[in-house]
Structure 1
Amino acid sequence: MKKFSVIVWLGVLAELFVLVAVGSVIGPLATIVLVVLTSMLGASLLKGNGLKNIRQAQQQMSEQIPAPGTMFQGLSHGVAGFLLLLPGFISDLIGLLLLLPLVQRVLIRLVLGRLVPGAAMWGSDLNRGRAANATDEQAVQQGDVFEGEFERQDKER
């Protein structure tokens, strides 16, 4: 917990330093306008894209399509919107980077690749949440899918 609070304080100090430095170069009024505009962008991003991505992920889950790409994309849009809401240019830069599809693909491969074995391949096709190189039919033909029935036989107590 102590490391986290130190990191947060260092981030706040860095944001203030950059904010003052930018303000001294472009002027205080322009700095305030930029901060307000990026905050408005973050609010609209959270409102619009957040709901759209949640609906899309729910639809894919109801169709039983693996949706880690859509969920990660929604999460990255949410984090980007939150970072854009915060006053400061460092958080705005990180938020804008999270909106880039290339950055999202790299992050999904890093994060999901560590959390779920074999999930790194999902990052290549963020929109569908499926592996781009193999369809379901190909997986069946390659013998990766087993179909069958089972019956549970619990021991009576």
Structure 2
Amino acid sequence: MRPLLLLFILMPILEMWLLITVGREIGALPTIGLVLLTAVVGLALLRRQGLSTVMRAQQKMQAGELPAREMVEGIFLAVGGALLLTPGFITDALGFACLIPGLRQLLLGRILRHVTVVRPGFDPRDGSPHRPSGDRDVIEGDYSRENGQPGESHKKDSDRNG
């Protein structure tokens, strides 16, 4: 908790120092222009990368796959967008690192190396379907309610046919 608190205290101080230093060198209006330019370029990049990520996630879901990488990319894109909208050059650099595909893939690769997605009924090592060794009495099958109880999701065969 303390490192996060320290980050929230130090980051604005560093941003103000850098903005003042750059403003002294190139002037106040060009500095403001640079901050606005990074926000506009960042939002355009965010929109493009976001649409691409959503499309890939939809394709994976339609193929019956879990879009885990795309979900993590979406989080990166949201964080990157928020950082680019925050005035300052340090947050802009971090935001662009989240939005530039090559850098984002490098960061994602390092993070996802430590993450395992486990789906119930599937072996986490290779993703193949499996049954836990203790479940020897399990019989797989389908069922439907035909007694008219609330929450009924299937109709009787006589109701379907006519």
In the other structure, the counterpart of 1:90 is: 90
Do structure 1's residue 63 and structure 2's residue 51 form an aligned pair?
A: no
AA aligned to 2:13 is: L
**SS of the counterpart of 1:65?**
coil
In the other structure, the counterpart of 2:148 is: none
Structure with greater helix percent: 1
Do structure 1's residue 41 and structure 2's residue 59 form an aligned pair?
A: no
In the other structure, the counterpart of 1:151 is: 139
What's the offset of the Cα at 1:48?
Answer: 4.7
- The structure with the largest alpha-carbon Rg is 2
AA aligned to 2:139 is: E
AA aligned to 2:32 is: I
What's the offset of the Cα at 1:146?
Answer: 5.5
**SS of the counterpart of 1:95?**
helix
AA aligned to 1:108 is: L
Listed as ranges, the gaps of 5+ residues in structure 1 are 118-143
AA aligned to 1:26 is: I
Do structure 1's residue 17 and structure 2's residue 5 form an aligned pair?
A: no
The structure showing larger relative contact order (alpha-carbon pairs under 8 Å, at least 6 residues apart) is 1
In the other structure, the counterpart of 1:128 is: none
> Residue 59 and residue 27 in structure 1: after superposition, are their counterparts in 2 closer, same or farther (change >3 A)?
same
Do structure 1's residue 111 and structure 2's residue 111 form an aligned pair?
A: yes
In the other structure, the counterpart of 2:32 is: 32
**SS of the counterpart of 2:114?**
helix
- RMSD of aligned alpha carbons: 2.9
What's the offset of the Cα at 1:63?
Answer: 1.4
What's the offset of the Cα at 1:13?
Answer: 0.5
1:19-50 Cα distance to aligned partner (Å, 9 max, x none):
11111111101001111112223333444543
8 Å CA contact 2:49–2:99 kept in 1: the answer is no
> Residue 148 and residue 111 in structure 1: after superposition, are their counterparts in 2 closer, same or farther (change >3 A)?
closer
- TM-score normalised by the chain length of structure 1: 0.65
Listed as ranges, the gaps of 5+ residues in structure 2 are 118-125, 132-137, 142-162
8 Å CA contact 1:45–1:81 kept in 2: the answer is no
